[in-house]
Amino acid sequence: MSEAIASLRAAEPRRFGEDGLAVLVGIGVLILALVSLYGRDLLGWAVTTAVWTDPAKALGAVSKVYAGLGGAGALAATYVALLVVLSAGAAALGGDVKKFAIAFTFVFVLAYASWFVGSWAYVAAVTPADQAKFGVSWSLRLTNEGGYIVALIAGLVIANFFPRFADWLKEAIRPELYIKIAIVLLGAFIAVTAAGKLTLASSLLLRGVAAIVEAYLIYWAVVYYIARKWFGFSREWAAPLASGVSICGVAAAIATGGAIRARPQVAVLVSSLVVVFAVVEVLILPFLAQTFLSSQPLVAAAWIGLAVKTDGAAVAAGGITESLVLAKAAAEGIAYQPGWLIAVTTTVKVFIDIFIGVWAFILAYVWTNHIDVKPDAEKARPSEIWARFPKFVLGFVATFVAGLALALGGAGPKLAAAVGEANTFRIIFFILTFFSIGVLTDFRKLWREGLGKLAAVYLVSLFGFVIWVGLIISWLFFAGVKPPLVG
């Protein structure tokens, strides 16, 4: 149950909380990175990992200015910086700083070790040319972003085989915080990517609107009907469940539970399901996308955004999908520009997130005025829309606008380098997200809590309806649209 409680804790803050912290950290990192535009490199010490066969040569600082630090020095500097900033954040959120610092140390070491393993040439090398370059006769061809999968599996092993250790780590297991920081950072990266092809980028934005309609108006209604009519769930269970499957997972289930005045346990139990199924999707869907959709890269990206629930799992799965699809295209001699697939996945997810508050208000209005009418009960108020608005989206928009303005203002290669340094931290927060999601996912809890019937609704809806309709809509709106080629 601890993972569900953690999920609830992570999804609750629609006030200043994790969202506000994510915006502060994300914008702070970007500002420090942008100082390099004026000739002073403040973040070049961040650690980066190259595909390796000799582990001694794997790690290094992202900027040549800090090459003297060496791999170990860059890793230590990155760890200390993150420890200080996130411990201060934990204090601001009212957490136990000492517990957080100790737990975060283990989380960082295990998560980055997973990333390191994922960058081993036997795991990461993709093309025969790569294999020849690294002198390996075979490889799993997962790209170096296969490290995300390794981090997820490491977390799953801890959650399912070492539950006491998983519980001990929980103070630093904050996937929602980590992914929100990453999404804020992603705003600038997407802006720099989009600035070169503004017409294409705006066309993709227009197509992203379909995702909002699909999630709220199509998915929700069908899943609610299935839960109520086929599985006989009460309204109190069916509404959060429909939001969890249809919209953006944990946050939507919590928001809906609050809107219809459900008991807190209902949203907690639904959230635990959301996390488990999101992990299953992350382990399966990117590889299906690579196998069947590599000729339509943006269809694959939009599909991942629509099918994978929870922001963390979806955006991170978008990153893996981009690596896998681009690697397959590269093996066929097509070099797509990186960044476009993850931009589409993130846009789809952020567009869906924006309307959580509006949807929660509509449900609250219907429930308090027509379904659960109590004379003295508090009625739905429009202020709930803002209260439930995911504030980290504002950070994403701010970094996107800043990045776009600088790119269009002619900041050029220097800006790309600066955003690249910020992007190094985005990757580290992705790694922490994957590891954390794994640690929260104890598959045995499903049966212990008697959630089989809830899981059945989720399974039927997700794999019988949501991913297929998502695929059709993604195909309808993104088929034939290709990312720009390199050069």
Q: What residues form DSSP beta bridges with 49?
A: 59
- Is 291 one of the binding residues for another protein (CB under 8 A)? no
Q: Binding another protein by CB under 8 A: which of 209, 377, 408, 486?
A: 209
- Is 233 one of the binding residues for another protein (CB under 8 A)? yes
Minimal CA–CA distance to 241: which of 466, 441, 13, 17? Answer: 466
Q: How far is the CB of 450 from another protein (least distance, A)?
A: 5
Q: Which two tokens stand for residue 429?
A: 């927060």
Q: Which stretch binds another protein (CB under 8 A): 131-139, 146-154, 200-208, 337-345?
A: 200-208
Closer residue to another protein in complex, CB, 79/475: 475
- Is 396 one of the binding residues for another protein (CB under 8 A)? no
Closer residue to another protein in complex, CB, 285/473: 473
- Is 361 one of the binding residues for another protein (CB under 8 A)? no
* DSSP track, 310-360: SHHHHHHHHHHHHHHHHHHHHHTT--BPTTHHHHHHHHHHHHHHHTHHHHH
Half-sphere exposure of 215 (CA within 13 A, CB side): 32
- Is 83 one of the binding residues for another protein (CB under 8 A)? no
Q: Taking a C-beta distance cutoff of 8 angstroms, is the pair 437, 312 a contact?
A: yes
- Is 370 one of the binding residues for another protein (CB under 8 A)? yes
Q: Which stretch binds another protein (CB under 8 A): 162-170, 214-222, 340-348, 421-429?
A: 214-222
Q: How far apart are CA 347 and CA 170, in angstroms?
A: 30
Q: How far is the CB of 213 from another protein (least distance, A)?
A: 5
Q: Binding another protein by CB under 8 A: which of 203, 332, 382, 486?
A: 203
Q: Taking a C-beta distance cutoff of 8 angstroms, is the pair 435, 151 a contact?
A: yes
Q: Which stretch binds another protein (CB under 8 A): 96-104, 223-231, 341-349, 393-401?
A: 223-231
Q: Taking a C-beta distance cutoff of 8 angstroms, is the pair 320, 145 a contact?
A: yes
Binding-site string for another protein from residue 240 to residue 279, where x marks contact by CB under 8 A and - marks none? -------------------------x---x----------
Closer residue to another protein in complex, CB, 46/269: 269
Q: How far is the CB of 288 from another protein (least distance, A)?
A: 24
* DSSP track, 180-215: HHHHHHHHHHHHHHHHTTHHHHHHHHHHHHHHHHII
Closer residue to another protein in complex, CB, 203/383: 203
Q: Binding another protein by CB under 8 A: which of 235, 338, 394, 402?
A: 235
* DSSP track, 385-449: HHHTS-THHHHHHHHHHHHHHHHHTT-HHHHHHHHHHHHHHHHHHHHHHHHHHHHT--THHHHHT
Where on the chain is the footprint of another protein (CB under 8 A)? 199-200, 203-204, 206-207, 209-210, 213-214, 216-218, 220-222, 224-225, 228-229, 232-235, 237, 265, 269, 366, 370-371, 448-451, 453-454, 473, 476-477, 480-481
